[in-house]
Amino acid sequence: MRLAVLKERRPAETRVAATPETVKKLIGLGCSVAVETGAGLASGIPDAEYAAAGAEVAPDAAAALNGAGIVLKIRAPLGTGEGAVDELSLIPRGALLLGQLGADAKAAGTYAQLGIDAGAMELLPRITRAQSMDILSSQANLAGYRAVVEAAGAFDRGFPMLMTAAGTIPAASVFIMGAGVAGLQAIATARRLGGRVSATDVRPAAKEEIKSLGASFVGYESEESKQAQTAGGYAKQLSAEFYAEQAKVVAAHIAKQDIVVTTALVQGRQAPQLVSAEMVRAMRPGSIIVDIAADAGGNVALTRPGEMITTENGVKILGYHNWPGRIAGAASALFARNLLTFLTTFWDKEAKAPKLPAEDEIVKGVLLTRGGAVVHPNFAPAKA
């Protein structure tokens, strides 16, 4: 079975869906692997390393995709009019496509029409068996780390308390908003750097997790927040009254912070706005806000997605796109392993091809289309 790995062409995308390490293992499964030239460059992987791992380096997307039965991507392939190459039209009918496809009903319909079996890895159920395939977790973890490191780089003082002969620099106060996978890693990283760390979340379970990492919990709790978690482990959308009370509690706290890292997401919705313009105005000059949720609309009123801005009162807001892509080598390594684990879990050793049992919980969660039909419950057309 031929497996193709394409160069990512979407803006701000620096990652690649296979590494020399995973290429070797894919070949071990019985695949022949074609990697489009330049696919790994932004992640620090030259073509020669793929070739040394046994891959064919293809001169363009069309050559890589020619005859492919499996296609690995980070982001959804470009369609007609989306860029210089219409990647979608080059994917052979019947191929299995895996990546963070960010799919909606329209895209699912297109995959079905083109006969592509599309797997949207971001829809993977958050169950123990799927942990090692979980792209959202592997990427969020790195985003949380990177956010704190970039905050430290932009901050004009230090994170730890620095006691020197010339005097003492106090430790930075760091506040992490949203303590999921990214937020917990941000807490751990800020603690390792020596910051004084506090954090908030709405899910009741998060409070203990925050404390277990040595940070203090700051937040608003109510009857409503006791039910703030869905069965899948995500935060629910809460009432306007709840958000207003939460804002009151965090506003006073934010004014005293040097660094604020926001990571809050509500699945399938615009990110909740947690930091108002007024709260930013109350911060001291030189303070830093990092908004990891920028691509989902941002948690901070003043965030400009894709940019770093300095407000009139001297607060820097880092709202860059694609935080895991800012640590591309590690992000690609983990993303590639997540995809490899998915394939090895659902691999028919005799046929040397993927075998995706329709009744499997992971397959049901991920697969959008199969054999020309939309099969995912979120997107399947309603039965008459």
279 vs 71: CA distance, rounded Å: 46
> Does the annotation mark 32 as catalytic?
no
CA atoms within 13 A on the CB side of 137: 15
Residues in 30-89 that interact with ligand NAD by CB under 6 A: none
# residues contacting ligand NAD (CB under 6 A): 31
Q: Which residues pair with 195 in a beta bridge?
A: none
Q: How far is CA 343 from CA 136, 336, 352, in A?
A: 17, 11, 11
Q: Which stretch binds ligand NAD (CB under 6 A): 7-15, 195-203, 312-320, 342-350?
A: 195-203
Calpha distance 113→247 (Å, rounded): 46
Please state, in angstroms and rounded to a whole number, the distance separating the CA atoms of residues 328 and 322: 10
Rounded Cα distance between 139 and 326, Å, is 11
117, 134, 258, 291: which one is catalytic?
A: 134
Q: Is residue 201 annotated as a catalytic residue, yes or no?
A: no
Asked if residue 261 binds ligand NAD (CB under 6 A), the reply is no
In terms of CB distance, is 278 or 348 closer to ligand NAD?
A: 278
Q: Is 121 in the site for ligand NAD (CB under 6 A)?
A: no
Indicate the burial class of 84 (C-beta count within 10 angstroms; 0-12, 13-18, 19 or more).
exposed
In the chain, the largest separation of any two C-alpha atoms, in whole Å, equals 79
| Contact of 149 with 189, CB cutoff 8 Å | yes
Catalytic residue among 47, 234, 304, 326: 234
List 9, 10, 126, 326, catalytic entry: 126
Please give the DSSP secondary-structure letter assigned to residue 295: G
Q: Which stretch binds ligand NAD (CB under 6 A): 39-47, 153-161, 259-267, 337-345?
A: 259-267
Rounded to a whole number of angstroms, the minimum distance from the CB of residue 11 to ligand NAD is 22
Interface residue with ligand NAD, options 9, 10, 24, 126 (CB under 6 A): 126
User: Could you say whether residue 200 binds ligand NAD (CB under 6 A)?
Assistant: yes
* Residue whose beta carbon is closest to ligand NAD: 180
Type of residue found at 122 = E
**φ, ψ (nearest 5 deg) of residue 196:** -95, 110
Closest contact distance (angstroms) between CB of 35 and ligand NAD is 29
Three-class DSSP category at 246: helix
Q: For residue 38, how many other CB atoms are within 10 A of its CB?
A: 15
Binding ligand NAD by CB under 6 A: which of 36, 117, 150, 201? 201
- List of residues 6+ apart from 342 with CB closer than 8 A: 98, 119, 121, 133, 362, 366
Active site residue 360: no
Binding mask 130-149 for ligand NAD (x = CB under 6 A): xx--x-xx--x---------
**For this structure, is 145 an active site residue?**
no
> What is the x/- site pattern for ligand NAD, positions 230-249, by CB under 6 A?
---xxx--------------
State the nearest-atom distance from the C-beta of 346 to ligand NAD, in Å. Answer: 17
Question: Is 137 known to be catalytic?
Answer: yes
Q: Which is nearer to ligand NAD, 183 or 324 (CB)?
A: 183
Handedness of CA 212, 247, 290, 133 (dihedral sign): positive
Catalytic positions are 126, 131, 134, 137, 234
Footprint of ligand NAD (CB under 6 A): 126-128, 130-131, 134, 136-137, 140, 177-183, 200-203, 206, 233-235, 263-267, 272, 274
